[in-house]
Protein backbone atom coordinates (compact mmCIF):
# COMPACT_ATOMS: atom_id res chain seq x y z
CA UNK A 1 0.00 0.00 0.00
CA UNK A 2 1.34 3.44 -0.87
CA UNK A 3 2.13 6.03 1.81
CA UNK A 4 -0.73 8.20 0.57
CA UNK A 5 -3.20 5.33 0.77
CA UNK A 6 -1.98 4.39 4.26
CA UNK A 7 -2.35 7.97 5.42
CA UNK A 8 -5.95 8.25 4.25
CA UNK A 9 -7.16 4.72 5.02
CA UNK A 10 -8.37 5.63 8.53
CA UNK A 11 -9.90 9.04 7.89
CA UNK A 12 -13.42 7.69 8.27
CA UNK A 13 -12.64 6.39 11.77
CA UNK A 14 -12.51 9.78 13.50
CA UNK A 15 -13.90 12.14 10.91
CA UNK A 16 -12.26 14.80 8.75
CA UNK A 17 -12.38 17.50 11.45
CA UNK A 18 -10.44 15.41 13.96
CA UNK A 19 -7.87 14.37 11.37
CA UNK A 20 -7.37 18.00 10.38
CA UNK A 21 -6.48 18.85 14.00
CA UNK A 22 -3.98 16.00 14.52
CA UNK A 23 -0.92 17.65 12.89
CA UNK A 24 -0.91 20.30 15.62
CA UNK A 25 -0.55 17.53 18.21
CA UNK A 26 1.64 14.97 16.44
CA UNK A 27 4.03 16.70 14.04
CA UNK A 28 6.30 18.27 16.68
CA UNK A 29 6.47 15.64 19.38
CA UNK A 30 9.75 15.81 21.36
CA UNK A 31 10.16 12.01 21.12
CA UNK A 32 8.82 9.38 18.72
CA UNK A 33 5.95 7.14 19.78
CA UNK A 34 5.38 3.49 18.95
CA UNK A 35 1.78 2.20 18.71
CA UNK A 36 1.01 -1.48 19.17
CA UNK A 37 -2.37 -3.07 18.52
CA UNK A 38 -2.92 -6.49 20.05
CA UNK A 39 -5.67 -8.28 18.20
CA UNK A 40 -6.80 -10.33 15.23
CA UNK A 41 -8.03 -8.34 12.25
CA UNK A 42 -10.13 -11.30 11.11
CA UNK A 43 -11.82 -11.71 14.50
CA UNK A 44 -13.81 -8.48 14.90
CA UNK A 45 -14.51 -5.17 13.25
CA UNK A 46 -13.05 -3.30 16.22
CA UNK A 47 -9.71 -5.05 15.87
CA UNK A 48 -9.67 -4.41 12.13
CA UNK A 49 -10.48 -0.73 12.64
CA UNK A 50 -7.79 -0.33 15.32
CA UNK A 51 -5.19 -1.75 12.93
CA UNK A 52 -6.36 0.59 10.18
CA UNK A 53 -6.09 3.51 12.56
CA UNK A 54 -2.54 2.60 13.59
CA UNK A 55 -1.43 2.26 9.98
CA UNK A 56 -3.07 5.55 9.07
CA UNK A 57 -1.34 7.44 11.87
CA UNK A 58 2.03 5.90 11.08
CA UNK A 59 1.56 6.64 7.40
CA UNK A 60 0.82 10.29 8.04
CA UNK A 61 3.17 11.24 10.90
CA UNK A 62 6.92 10.62 11.01
CA UNK A 63 6.80 10.80 14.81
CA UNK A 64 4.62 7.66 15.03
CA UNK A 65 5.24 4.09 13.98
CA UNK A 66 3.01 1.04 14.35
CA UNK A 67 2.84 -2.73 14.54
CA UNK A 68 0.08 -5.26 15.14
CA UNK A 69 0.71 -8.25 17.39
CA UNK A 70 -1.38 -11.38 18.07
CA UNK A 71 -3.88 -11.58 20.89
CA UNK A 72 -2.46 -12.21 24.37
CA UNK A 73 -3.89 -14.59 26.95
CA UNK A 74 -3.85 -11.98 29.72
CA UNK A 75 -6.21 -9.51 27.97
CA UNK A 76 -9.97 -9.94 28.38
CA UNK A 77 -11.12 -7.57 25.62
CA UNK A 78 -9.84 -6.61 22.16
CA UNK A 79 -8.52 -4.58 20.49
CA UNK A 80 -5.88 -3.38 22.94
CA UNK A 81 -3.82 -0.36 21.90
CA UNK A 82 -0.51 0.19 23.63
CA UNK A 83 1.29 3.53 23.43
CA UNK A 84 5.06 3.18 23.85
CA UNK A 85 7.96 5.60 23.88
CA UNK A 86 10.52 5.38 21.09
CA UNK A 87 10.44 3.24 17.99
CA UNK A 88 10.20 -0.49 17.33
CA UNK A 89 13.18 -2.34 18.75
CA UNK A 90 14.01 0.40 21.23
CA UNK A 91 10.68 1.44 22.69
CA UNK A 92 9.86 1.81 26.37
CA UNK A 93 6.57 0.57 27.79
CA UNK A 94 5.00 3.14 30.14
CA UNK A 95 1.96 0.97 30.81
CA UNK A 96 -0.59 2.97 28.78
CA UNK A 97 -3.39 0.91 27.24
CA UNK A 98 -6.64 1.75 25.45
CA UNK A 99 -9.11 -1.15 25.54
CA UNK A 100 -11.41 -0.97 22.56
CA UNK A 101 -11.40 1.37 19.58
CA UNK A 102 -11.19 4.97 20.94
CA UNK A 103 -14.04 6.43 18.93
CA UNK A 104 -16.09 9.60 19.41
CA UNK A 105 -14.75 11.86 22.15
CA UNK A 106 -12.17 9.21 23.02
CA UNK A 107 -10.21 10.06 19.89
CA UNK A 108 -8.96 12.88 22.12
CA UNK A 109 -7.97 10.28 24.73
CA UNK A 110 -5.69 8.63 22.16
CA UNK A 111 -4.11 12.02 21.47
CA UNK A 112 -3.64 12.46 25.24
CA UNK A 113 -1.94 9.06 25.47
CA UNK A 114 0.50 9.86 22.64
CA UNK A 115 1.36 13.25 24.12
CA UNK A 116 1.75 11.85 27.64
CA UNK A 117 4.35 9.36 26.41
CA UNK A 118 6.16 11.80 24.12
CA UNK A 119 6.42 14.43 26.88
CA UNK A 120 6.98 11.88 29.68
CA UNK A 121 4.09 13.31 31.72
CA UNK A 122 5.77 16.69 32.07
CA UNK A 123 2.45 18.55 31.94
CA UNK A 124 1.67 17.31 35.46
CA UNK A 125 2.00 19.79 38.30
CA UNK A 126 5.40 19.81 40.01
CA UNK A 127 3.92 18.68 43.32
CA UNK A 128 2.31 15.72 41.57
CA UNK A 129 5.63 14.58 40.12
CA UNK A 130 7.22 14.88 43.56
CA UNK A 131 4.52 12.72 45.12
CA UNK A 132 4.83 10.16 42.33
CA UNK A 133 8.59 9.94 42.89
CA UNK A 134 7.85 8.72 46.43
CA UNK A 135 5.44 6.01 45.28
CA UNK A 136 6.68 2.52 46.20
CA UNK A 137 3.77 0.26 45.26
CA UNK A 138 2.29 -0.53 41.86
CA UNK A 139 -1.07 0.94 40.87
CA UNK A 140 -3.48 0.03 38.09
CA UNK A 141 -5.79 2.93 37.24
CA UNK A 142 -8.74 2.20 34.94
CA UNK A 143 -10.88 4.90 33.36
CA UNK A 144 -14.21 3.52 32.17
CA UNK A 145 -15.88 5.73 29.59
CA UNK A 146 -17.92 5.76 26.40
CA UNK A 147 -17.63 7.25 22.94
CA UNK A 148 -20.10 10.05 23.78
CA UNK A 149 -18.60 10.88 27.20
CA UNK A 150 -16.95 14.31 27.13
CA UNK A 151 -15.37 13.83 30.55
CA UNK A 152 -13.50 10.70 29.52
CA UNK A 153 -10.60 12.49 27.79
CA UNK A 154 -10.15 14.81 30.79
CA UNK A 155 -9.64 11.91 33.19
CA UNK A 156 -7.66 9.95 30.61
CA UNK A 157 -5.22 12.82 30.17
CA UNK A 158 -4.43 12.94 33.88
CA UNK A 159 -4.19 9.18 34.30
CA UNK A 160 -2.03 8.72 31.20
CA UNK A 161 0.33 11.43 32.41
CA UNK A 162 0.61 9.72 35.78
CA UNK A 163 1.61 6.47 34.06
CA UNK A 164 4.10 8.22 31.80
CA UNK A 165 5.72 9.93 34.80
CA UNK A 166 5.90 6.93 37.17
CA UNK A 167 7.04 3.33 36.60
CA UNK A 168 4.66 2.29 39.38
CA UNK A 169 1.48 3.39 37.56
CA UNK A 170 -0.29 1.59 34.73
CA UNK A 171 -3.23 3.32 33.02
CA UNK A 172 -6.14 1.76 31.15
CA UNK A 173 -8.92 3.46 29.19
CA UNK A 174 -11.85 1.05 28.76
CA UNK A 175 -14.61 1.66 26.21
CA UNK A 176 -17.67 0.57 28.20
CA UNK A 177 -20.11 0.94 25.31
CA UNK A 178 -18.19 -1.84 23.55
CA UNK A 179 -17.42 -3.89 26.67
CA UNK A 180 -20.42 -3.60 29.05
CA UNK A 181 -18.84 -6.32 31.21
CA UNK A 182 -16.65 -3.57 32.69
CA UNK A 183 -19.79 -1.68 33.76
CA UNK A 184 -21.15 -4.76 35.49
CA UNK A 185 -17.81 -5.65 37.10
CA UNK A 186 -17.48 -2.26 38.81
CA UNK A 187 -21.19 -1.36 39.15
CA UNK A 188 -20.68 1.78 37.08
CA UNK A 189 -23.53 4.29 37.18
CA UNK A 190 -21.70 7.42 35.95
CA UNK A 191 -18.96 7.83 33.37
CA UNK A 192 -16.16 8.57 33.47
CA UNK A 193 -15.66 6.11 36.28
CA UNK A 194 -12.09 5.70 37.57
CA UNK A 195 -11.00 2.64 39.51
CA UNK A 196 -7.68 2.43 41.40
CA UNK A 197 -6.37 -1.08 42.09
CA UNK A 198 -9.92 -2.46 41.71
CA UNK A 199 -10.89 -0.94 45.09
CA UNK A 200 -11.04 2.85 45.08
CA UNK A 201 -13.81 4.25 42.89
CA UNK A 202 -14.00 7.83 41.62
CA UNK A 203 -17.10 9.00 39.77
CA UNK A 204 -17.09 11.80 37.24
CA UNK A 205 -14.34 14.30 36.48
CA UNK A 206 -12.00 15.28 39.31
CA UNK A 207 -8.91 17.45 39.33
CA UNK A 208 -5.33 16.24 39.66
CA UNK A 209 -5.07 16.92 43.38
CA UNK A 210 -8.29 15.06 44.17
CA UNK A 211 -7.14 12.04 42.19
CA UNK A 212 -3.86 12.07 44.14
CA UNK A 213 -5.85 11.91 47.41
CA UNK A 214 -7.65 8.82 46.13
CA UNK A 215 -4.31 7.30 45.11
CA UNK A 216 -3.01 7.96 48.63
CA UNK A 217 -6.05 6.14 50.02
CA UNK A 218 -5.34 3.19 47.73
CA UNK A 219 -1.74 3.08 48.92
CA UNK A 220 -2.83 3.07 52.58
CA UNK A 221 -5.27 0.23 51.95
Residue 137: left (phi > 0), alpha (psi -120 to 50), or beta?
A: beta
The total of structural domains in the chain comes to: 1
Give the count of alpha carbons within 13 A of 198, CB side only: 3
Kindly report the CATH number assigned to the domain that includes residue 93. Answer: 3.40.30.80
Say if residue 133 is exposed, middle or buried (CB neighbours under 10 Å; 0-12, 13-18, 19+): exposed
pLDDT in the model for residue 11:
58
Question: In this predicted model, what pLDDT tens digit does every residue of 86-137 receive, in sequence order?
Answer: 987 889 999 999 999 999 999 999 999 999 999 999 999 999 999 999 999 9
pLDDT in the model for residue 10:
53
104-131: b (≥16 Cβ within 10 Å) or e: bbbbbbbbbbbbbbbbbbebbeeebbeb
HEC profile of 135-195: CCCCEEEEEEECCCCCCHHHHHHHHHHHHHHCCCEEEEEEECCCCCHHHHHHCCCCCCEEE
Kindly report the pTM of this predicted structure: 0.92
Residues in the chain predicted with pLDDT less than 70, given as ranges, are 1-13
Residues 6+ apart with CB under 8 A from 67: 34, 35, 36, 37, 54, 88
Between CA 19 and CA 39 the distance in angstroms is 24
Instruction: Count the helix, strand and coil residues of the chain and give each as a percent rounded to the nearest 5.
Output: 40, 20, 35
Q: What domain range is 48 assigned to?
A: 3-220
Mapped onto helix, strand or coil, the DSSP state of residue 33 is strand
H or E stretch covering 203: strand 200-203
Amino acid sequence: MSDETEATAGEDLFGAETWAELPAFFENLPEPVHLIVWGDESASRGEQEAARLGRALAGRFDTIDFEILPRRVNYDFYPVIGVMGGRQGEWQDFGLRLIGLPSGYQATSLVAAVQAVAFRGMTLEAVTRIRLSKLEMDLDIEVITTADNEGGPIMAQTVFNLAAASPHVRAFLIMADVFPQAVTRYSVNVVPHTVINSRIHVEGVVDENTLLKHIAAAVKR
